Amino acid sequence: MSDLPTRDPQAGPDTEQIFGDLLGECVHCGFCLPTCPTNVLWGQEMDSPRGRIHLMTQMHTEDVLTEAAVGHFDNCLGCLACVSACPSGVAYDALLEHTRHRVEREHERPLGERALRGAVFALFPHRRRLRLMRGPLRAYQASGVSSLVRRSRLLDRLSPALATMERVAPPLSSPPPPLPELVPAAGRARARVGMLVGCVQGAFFPEVNTATARVLAMEGCEVVIPPEQGCCGALSGHAGRLAEAAAFARRLVEVFERAGVDRLVVNSAGCGSSMKHLDRTLAEAGADQGWVRRGRALSERVADLTEFLVELGPRAERRPLPLHVAYHDACHLSHGQGVTAPPRALLAGIPELTVSDLPDREICCGSAGVYNLFKPEVARELGDRKAEGVAATGADVLVSGNPGCSLQIAAAMDRAGAPVAVTHTARVLDASLRGLPVERLLGRG
Amino acid sequence: MSQTAQTQAVAALVPHLRRVCGDDGVLTDTARRRTYESDGLTHHRSVPGVVVLPTTADQVAAVVRLCADSGVPFVPRGAGTGLSAGALPHPGGVLLVTSRMRRVLEIDVDNECAVVEPGVANLDVTRAAAPYGYYYAPDPSSQQVCSVGGNVAENSGGAHCLKYGFTVNHVRGLDVVTPSGERVSLGGKNPDAHGYDLVGAFVGSEGTLGVATSVTVGLTRAPERTVTLLFAFSSMDAGGQAVSSIIAAGVLPSAVEMMDALAIEAAERAVACGYPEGAAAVLIVELDGPAAEVDAQAMAVTRLCAAAGAFETRTASGAEERARIWKGRKSAFAAVGRISPAYIVQDGVVPRTALPEVLRRITELSADSGIRVANVFHAGDGNLHPLVLFDDAEPGAAERAEEVSGAILDLCIEHGGSITGEHGVGVDKACKMPRMYGPDDLATFDLFRRALDPGGIANPDKLLPTPRLCGERPGVRTGVHPLVESGRAEQF
């Protein structure tokens, strides 16, 4: 008998070793540089994926975590454009998740940073708490104090993060009625699908969820929306708070296992991207093989709304929408899930609607989950660049598949003095399927 | 200078560098400096003494002047994608990185040229010129990331150099900071400046003659029609035969590229390029020019390839279809990471007629050594890019791969070729230079270099063999230069 500590045989392979193997995949070719938003901004190696992988290698082989390295890991938006650009197939997403997990465990953050992070993670992954904010937020916006505060730039001086939160908060109208637990299919049912309502989507864009459920039903899906579903854990996971992410993941697995659905449809890119690897998150957090397997089984059912609808094929009639839309690729949809063609195909399938791509479409808008709260200046600069691109298309509406991007780009367009209607792919489809007038999408009625 | 003295000299320079480039433009922290330890060729590593990130030509000149005054070496670096370790940092020197100098300064449509800063990515020149119906012709496979400044330093080529020539054929003018920190302009917008071709001398000088701070490049009018053809063969010999017959028929394609089965496998795994199954070789032929000419040539090429035994032909004329054919080829180098933990990208040239023989010999070399070699190359001009695969975790494998890689270069020289087609000499091949050039040639190069860089501070140890690097007879030359001695050159 040895008295050396032994690894739990139920646990998966050593995550440190996997990390080392994954690091070795990088051949230092640099193809990731031009699509990395921080490299675009600053042009320095340590703020490029290749440089960060080098810093990760230093951390791994020498078992040190320098202050400098943490800063550059924090600067990463986690947009995963590098994953799309990489010809060697480096799993930067897995590398980043592991690295952030380690930073979270080992790095002592200054008090202010800790407080901000604590507040963000006590609020955003909790739909009910976010929903409670709706009332005061609406009152605040309606009171006119909002524009006063913005003009005074008071919040900028107090806290750039608070200022960003204030600016990206969407104008809220009265919420649509809550979604039922089961939406029956219109006509013969073709599939029984689960639907994730999401935290930010659910609290700030409930109409997107309503549209999603309606589109699915109109296309012949029975839609199951378990009310007890919580956060998917994406925000926590991307920030390295893996224990928290894993707890959310377990609850999600239990809830949707009970729901007995063929597919689990997600309309928020950030959520979908991380829900496609619940197994990895659970394994990285040290969960046993049983949980990892259950996570994988659910992950295999996860589909973005647009890829699911394309896979299903259209059944409901599309009615004309005379609109020019610009489509913004949410990073966690295009880079995180490789879903670029389906949303475009769905939009292009609507009569009289034209779709434009944005210049530099692979570059992040700066929203990146809660990044714009932690790094508001960087996010603002990227948002401004994106806004220029949107303006250049001359489109009537900007369409994206992620609530964070919608908030971020709308705020940037307002700042640029060129406000544009921003909406979700689901709402455009919903309008076409129901034959609504385009004004409804332009926010004019 | 001893190593300690070098370190001290660099440390003494830092406050001055900060004054020039700002705190944000000078990296001294070890973890950060280490991320610059290599370019795209990772088996050469060296941590720079200090990294500077200037944003203007004035800053570059000031940095170089500081280096010249204190005798501290400097190494220019663009995007760090080079494959000959030309931007390998000097441990006791300044790494001068141009990645923040990336403005397209001017697109001059009337004079068909563009003026760009050195850090601009190659493909961004084309992006800026495209709205006017122009593009920048030299197209290295890393064109979306590699910098124009780096292209100038290495005289980079690419798939389309067969018809359009290398970087040197497209650079018309340069603003340069010489190794003494002086700002000079060479050439201009006019494509045929008279007098000594100093632009020609600077292109391909690998940073040994100074740093370019702006580059004027000629733009090429986008052709009326471009057709990309892909042919699958069941042997490399058959593919080689097809190339010979295309050239013999008087067709000058813009590109003729070949990949062997192993390279196809890697590309397939990386980007699912969907090349014909069972192909032992694929040949990509691109034709561009006036529509009628291109159509006629496409028919001729298709006929010639069929005669050489092509079992599948694909024709693409739309941009998206063409991109799909190119995708596999363009990603091939990095894609090899999918089939091997480590690899060396070699770059050698052989006369086109020697291609089949050299490829056979490479296959033998690979079989004898047990080291796999994937072949991707510009078949039209005989520029080989063998990828020597090995497992860096296996003891001795890297050395054996190095040997095979070196032996391939020997094969190239033996068949009347050259040790580099387009990646440059850098550190990687400096010691091979004496195999290509005699002592007089090298002494002439050295004389030219010293005329501009008497202190030997501009990217030392690159391009030309040095005793320190190549284990030649040690000692610095103290006597009269042999060329001067023999009366063939004069030193002023």
pLDDT in tens, B253-271: 999 999 999 999 999 988 8
| Other beta carbons less than 10 A from residue B286's beta carbon | 25
Both structure tokens of B133: 């119906």
Tens of pLDDT, residue by residue over B78-92, are 999 999 999 999 999
CA distance A285 to A245: 8
Q: Closest residue of B to A66, CA-based? A: B31
Cα distances (Å, whole numbers) of residue B385 to B220, B271, B330, B379: 26, 19, 12, 10
Please report the beta strands in B194-275, taking only residues with DSSP state E, as ranges in sequence order: 211-218, 220-221, 225-233, 255-260
- Whether residues B337 and A27 touch (CB distance < 8 A) is answered with yes
- Whether residues B270 and A31 touch (CB distance < 8 A) is answered with no
CA distance A169 to B237: 65
pLDDT of residue A9: 47
Cα distances (Å, whole numbers) of residue B137 to B108, B226, B333, B337: 16, 14, 21, 28
Interface A-B, measured as beta-carbon pairs within 8 A, has a size of: 87
pLDDT of residue B155: 96
Q: b/e per residue, B197-231, with b = 16+ CB within 10 A?
A: ebbeebbbbbbbbbbbbbbbbbbbeebeebbbbbb
Ranges of residues in chain A whose predicted pLDDT is under 50: 1-7, 9, 444-445
β-sheet with B94-97: strand ranges across: B26-27, B50-52, B94-97, B74-77
Contacts of B56 in chain A (CB under 8 A): none
Closest Cα partner for B168 from B187, B181, B182, B183? B187
**Nearest beta carbon to residue B145 from set A31, A54, A88:** A31
**Nearest beta carbon to residue A24 from set B99, B336, B341:** B341
Strand, helix or coil at B91? coil
The HSE-up count of residue A436 (CA atoms within 13 Å, CB side) is: 17
Chain B nearest-CA distance from A227, in A, is: 41
- Whether residues A87 and B337 touch (CB distance < 8 A) is answered with yes
CA distance A328 to A343: 10
Interface of A with B (CB under 8 A): 24-31, 33-34, 42-46, 50-51, 54-55, 58, 66, 68-69, 86-89
Tens of pLDDT, residue by residue over B428-467, are 899 989 988 999 999 999 999 999 999 999 999 999 998 7
β-sheet with B183-187: strand ranges across: B104-108, B113-116, B211-218, B171-177, B183-187
CB B239 within 8 A of CB B268: no
CA distance A36 to A124: 26
Instruction: Give how far the C-alpha of residue B368 lies from the chain's centroid of Cα atoms, to the nearest Å.
Output: 30
The HSE-up count of residue B126 (CA atoms within 13 Å, CB side) is: 15
Chain A nearest-CA distance from B8, in A, is: 23
Most B CBs within 10 Å: which of A23, A25, A33, as the mutation test of the B interface? A33
Both structure tokens of A102: 């380690």
Closest Cα partner for B102 from A36, A42, A50, A388? A42
pLDDT of residue B349: 94
Mean pLDDT of chain B, nearest integer: 92
Which H or E element spans position A243?
helix A242-259
Write the CB contacts of A275 (distance below 8 Å, at least 6 apart in sequence). A196, A232, A234, A252, A264, A266, A298, A299, A302
**Residue A374: φ, ψ to 5°:** -85, -35
CB A239 within 8 A of CB A104: yes
CA distance A100 to A103: 5
- Whether residues B102 and A43 touch (CB distance < 8 A) is answered with yes
Query: Taking 60 as the threshold, does the pLDDT of residue B360 lie above it?
Result: yes
Instruction: Report the relative pairing of strands B104-108 and B113-116 from DSSP bridges.
Output: antiparallel
Query: Taking 70 as the threshold, does the pLDDT of residue B489 lie above it?
Result: no
**Nearest beta carbon to residue B142 from set A31, A45, A89:** A31
pLDDT of residue A144: 61
pTM: 0.90
Contacts of B145 in chain A (CB under 8 A): 30-31, 33-34
Residue that has been written with the tokens 């052709």 in this structure: B223
**Nearest beta carbon to residue B270 from set A44, A46, A87:** A87
Chain B nearest-CA distance from A44, in A, is: 7
Q: Closest residue of B to A22, CA-based? A: B341
Chain A nearest-CA distance from B152, in A, is: 18
CB B39 within 8 A of CB B31: no
pLDDT of residue B59: 98
Most A CBs within 10 Å: which of B21, B28, B35, as the mutation test of the A interface? B35
CA distance B392 to B142: 24
Position A345: which residue type? Answer: A
For residue B330, name the pLDDT band (cuts at 50, 70, 90): confident
Contacts of B97 in chain A (CB under 8 A): 44-45
Closest Cα partner for B287 from B245, B224, B228, B353? B228
DSSP 8-state symbol, B311: S
Closest Cα partner for A309 from A337, A272, A282, A346? A346
CA distance A32 to A49: 6
Chain B nearest-CA distance from A134, in A, is: 41
pLDDT of residue B479: 56
Q: b/e per residue, B14-46, with b = 16+ CB within 10 A?
A: eebbbebbeeebbbeeebbbbbbbbbbbbebeb
Taken in order of first residue, the domains within chain B and their CATH numbers are: 3-97 (3.30.43.10), 104-221 (3.30.465.10), 225-334 (3.30.70.2190), 342-414 (3.30.70.2740), 430-491 (no CATH)
**Cross-strand pairs, B289:** B225
Contacts of A62 in chain B (CB under 8 A): none
Mean pLDDT of B333-359: 87
Indicate left, alpha or beta for A329 from its phi (over 0: left) and psi (-120 to 50: alpha).
Answer: beta
Q: Closest residue of B to A89, CA-based? A: B270
Most A CBs within 10 Å: which of B145, B146, B271, B330, as the mutation test of the A interface? B145
**Nearest beta carbon to residue B99 from set A25, A43, A89:** A43
Contacts of A54 in chain B (CB under 8 A): 34-35, 37
Mean pLDDT of B148-175: 95
DSSP per residue, A309-373: HHHH---SPPPP--EEEEEE--HHHHHHH---HHHHHHHHTSTTEEEEEPTTTTS--S-TTTHHH
Tens of pLDDT, residue by residue over B282-299, are 999 999 999 999 999 999
Chain B nearest-CA distance from A100, in A, is: 18
- Whether residues A24 and B145 touch (CB distance < 8 A) is answered with no
Locate all alpha helices (DSSP H) within B232-290, ordered by sequence: 236-248, 261-271
Instruction: Give how far the C-alpha of residue B455 lies from the chain's centroid of Cα atoms, to the nearest Å.
Output: 26
| Other beta carbons less than 10 A from residue B103's beta carbon | 14
Contacts of B334 in chain A (CB under 8 A): 27, 29, 31, 86-88
Contacts of A24 in chain B (CB under 8 A): 341
pLDDT of residue A12: 52
Chain A nearest-CA distance from B416, in A, is: 30
pLDDT of residue B343: 87
Contacts of A29 in chain B (CB under 8 A): 40, 81, 142, 333-334
Tens of pLDDT, residue by residue over A43-91, are 999 999 999 999 999 999 999 999 999 999 999 999 999 999 998 889 9
Query: Taking 80 as the threshold, does the pLDDT of residue B115 lie above it?
Result: yes
- Whether residues A29 and B40 touch (CB distance < 8 A) is answered with yes
